[in-house]
Homo-oligomer: A and B are copies of this chain.
Amino acid sequence: MTIQAKFERMGTDAAPGQEVRQQVGGIEALLRGEQIAGREVDFSHGDVDAFTPTPGSFEVFTTGVEAGGRQAYTEYRGDLSIREQLAPSLASFTGAPIDAADGMILTPGTQGALFLAVASTVAHGDKVAVVQPDYFANRKLVEFCEGHMMPIQMDYLNAEGRAGLDLGQLEDAFAAGAKVFLFSNPNNPAGVVYSRDEIKTIASLASRYGATVIVDQLYSRLLYSGIDYAHLRAEAIDAENVITIMGPSKTESLSGYRLGVAFGSKAIINRMEKLQAIVSLRAGGYSQAVFRTWFNEPEGWMDQRVRQHQAIRDDLLRLFRATKGIQARTTEAGSYIFPQLPPLAVSGKDFVRILRLQASVIVTPGTEFSPFCDSSVRLNFSQDHAAAVAAVERLVSLVDRYRA
């Protein structure tokens, strides 16, 4: 494959945050009715002005700058004293030990960790099991590494008490030679949490077939009341088969510092560091200092953040469910909601463009997450509460306007 052909498949025009680079041409002919006024809400990512960064994060960054060269030039896998501070917190949170020296790497965002993990486990032609729907970059990472993607369906709309992963399909993929299984839990975009049974089955299948599992747990701290969360690494039979990825970009609103962490298999972490050395050297040195606030937030701060998100979730779900033909599963963790819209007179992608043009509402089209999700859109509801409600009111009124 030429490099040009390889990159043509890796489009980002509809990716969250890239809307400014889209051309609006050609959409006018499809428009019905007038614009609906209202404050723009960008549901493509969380609003860190509405949910502000962890208290003290900037002060800790400042201390990092003051530390000078020692903080600017860390090991490629990140400052050891920071890894030593984080490891016990993450071990306690995830229910299994972490080796700060050899089993952990700090990365530029969880995106950095995901890239390193996939590129350190997937060679040209390797088979990789990927969930549909799942985080849009997963598919692109496999394409970049020229792996062979084996899609595993997750029927989240018709599952109760579990994510709805097709475990038979997963076993078939392993039996057919899939070396790596890559998934997010809670699922991005559907906001569902894998049941303990699902996680146990994934762990035992991976062990039986000798596959590596990369699990993106970015949103696992933002867990709503009544939800049981099972950490794969606590259930894993072979700890060297699992890489867990987390980071403080979302719930903690520290995205502007670009911080992520991967931990688990020492052999894979070692490869990830070799790769980080040529990809970006290290997570920004001064930014690494901000990790010191992580799992170290003021008493009650995280609980309040979870409650506030839950309240927004409930209001948005009410609006979606009051609209004929919209199906939305209740978000169990994280700040994504992924409603399936009724049949419309325009394609899902066009509806997303219309929504931006006529209602100042930015959402991410479902096809970013699965080829079968053209009628769904993803919203990150980590937003100003009132503005989010008003924006979803405009969204559902456009759904009514564009019904097929």
Contacts and interface: CB of A to CB of B under 8 A. Distances in A.
Nearest to A50: B69
A257 B286 contact: yes
Contact of A69 (B48, B120, B287): B48
A258 interface: yes
Given A112-B279, A278-B140, A279-B115, A285 B255 contact: yes
A144 to B, nearest CB: 6
A43 interface: no
A148 to B, nearest CB: 14
Contacts of A140: 277-278
How many identical chains are in the complex?
2
Given A6-B123, A108-B284, A271-B7, A20 B75 contact: yes
A280 B115 contact: yes
A263 B285 CA distance: 25
A103 to B, nearest CB: 14
Nearest to A15: B277
Interface in A1-54: 1-3, 6-7, 10-12, 15, 17-18, 20-21, 45, 47-49, 52
A91 interface: no
B108 A11 contact: no
A363 B258 CA distance: 30
Contact of A71 (B73, B123, B256): B256
Q: Which of A18, A49, A279 has the most CB of B within 10 A?
A: A279
A10 to B, nearest CB: 5
Interface string A270-288: 0101110111111111110
23 contacts: A1-B124, A3-B120, A3-B271, A7-B275, A10-B274, A12-B273, A20-B80, A21-B75, A48-B68, A49-B68, A61-B65, A71-B256, A108-B258, A108-B280, A111-B279, A112-B279, A114-B278, A115-B280, A137-B278, A140-B278, A258-B280, A258-B281, A279-B279
Interface of A: 1-3, 6-7, 10-12, 15, 17-18, 20-21, 45, 47-49, 52, 58, 61-62, 64-65, 68-69, 71-73, 75-76, 80, 107-109, 111-112, 114-115, 119-124, 126, 137, 140-141, 144, 146, 255-258, 271, 273-275, 277-287
